[in-house]
């Protein structure tokens, strides 16, 4: 159920599996609503990225990394800066992606980042709309979010999108390998002990398999505005 209130900002939770298009949709939705995107997946990828660079091997190592990182919005509110840096596609490599899935299963890492996500979300939403994107936002991080969406797509469609994304970066990988990796990650994310990937009971499910990005963003923005009477 939508919670109505008078504050200027509000919180939108967007969850879903890898490759469903939620990252692009979340960014564009935040721009459409003149808000800020808090990409929680990028936060886990950042822990994996910096942890791997530092030679982290154990849960304790990655937890130390998680607590040491700083997160803040870029001046245009379009990117999340980690330690003051926009890491961009460095966080999207296959190595970092696989490591992020493993790191996200560590309770101490999840606890550390969940606290940061809640604090950032609450702070930013006092000023403007905040879109949080991840895999457990509507179920664990912000179960009382004002709006919840679960973005999904056919596994083959998701794999093809990922393949095209990696191809642009010059990464050589077979489509079949990406499909395999996605299946493994879906299994890991949905069966992990702490805050597994699942659709919140009160989330609006959006299947992007046959929808364009513009369509998806418009649908979500219209849904939010219809409930808040935004113009």
pLDDT in tens, 69-122: 999 988 887 788 999 999 988 998 889 988 998 998 899 999 999 999 999 999
pLDDT band at 192 (very low <50, low <70, confident <90, very high): confident
Distance CA 152, CA 62 (A): 29
CA angle at residue 60 from 58 to 64, to 5 degrees?
120
**Upper half-sphere CA count for residue 195 (Cβ side, 13 Å):** 23
Question: Could you tell me which residue, 196 or 3, shows the higher pLDDT?
Answer: 196
Find the mean pLDDT for residues 39-57.
Answer: 95
- The total of structural domains in the chain comes to 1
Is residue 80 a contact partner of residue 134, using CB atoms and an 8 Å limit? no
CATH number at residue 15: 3.40.50.300
Share of the chain above pLDDT 70, in %: 96
Distance CA 158, CA 193 (A): 25
Quick one: 40 exposed, middle or buried, by C-beta within 10 A (0-12, 13-18, 19+)? Answer: buried
Residue 4 domain flag: no
Domain hosting residue 163, numbered range: 11-217
pLDDT band at 7 (very low <50, low <70, confident <90, very high): low
Residue 22 domain flag: yes
Task: For residue 204, give the 3-state DSSP assignment.
Answer: strand
pTM: 0.84
Residue 222 domain flag: no
Residue 229 domain flag: no
Query: How would you classify the pairing of strands 204-207 and 36-39?
Result: unpaired
CA angle at residue 142 from 125 to 33, to 5 degrees?
40
Residue 205 domain flag: yes
Sheet containing 204-207: give its strands across: 36-39, 130-134, 11-15, 147-152, 204-207
pLDDT band at 60 (very low <50, low <70, confident <90, very high): very high
Residue 193 domain flag: yes
Residue 69 domain flag: yes
Residue 5 domain flag: no
């Amino acid at each position: 159920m939508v919670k109505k209130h008078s504050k200027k900002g509000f919180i939108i939770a967007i969850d879903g599996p890898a490759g469903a298009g939620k990252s692009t949709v979340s960014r564009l939705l935040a721009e459409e609503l003149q808000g800020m995107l808090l990409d929680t997946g990028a936060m886990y990828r950042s822990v994996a990225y910096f942890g791997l660079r530092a030679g982290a091997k154990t849960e304790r190592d990655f937890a130390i990394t998680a607590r040491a990182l700083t997160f803040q919005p870029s001046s245009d509110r379009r990117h999340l800066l980690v330690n003051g840096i926009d890491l961009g596609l460095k966080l999207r490599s296959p190595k970092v992606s696989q490591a992020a899935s493993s790191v996200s299963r560590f309770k101490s890492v999840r606890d550390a980042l969940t606290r940061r996500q809640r604090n950032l979300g609450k702070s930013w939403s006092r000023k403007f709309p905040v879109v949080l994107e991840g895999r457990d936002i509507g179920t664990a991080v912000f179960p009382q979010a004002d709006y919840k969406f679960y973005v999904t797509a056919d596994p083959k469609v998701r794999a093809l999108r990922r393949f095209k994304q990696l191809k642009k970066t010059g990464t050589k990988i077979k489509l079949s390998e990406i499909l395999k990796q996605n299946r493994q990650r879906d299994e890991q994310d949905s069966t992990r002990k702490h805050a597994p990937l699942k659709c919140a009971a009160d989330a609006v499910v959006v299947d992007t398999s046959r929808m364009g990005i513009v369509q998806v963003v418009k649908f979500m923005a219209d849904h939010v505005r219809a409930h808040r009477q935004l113009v």
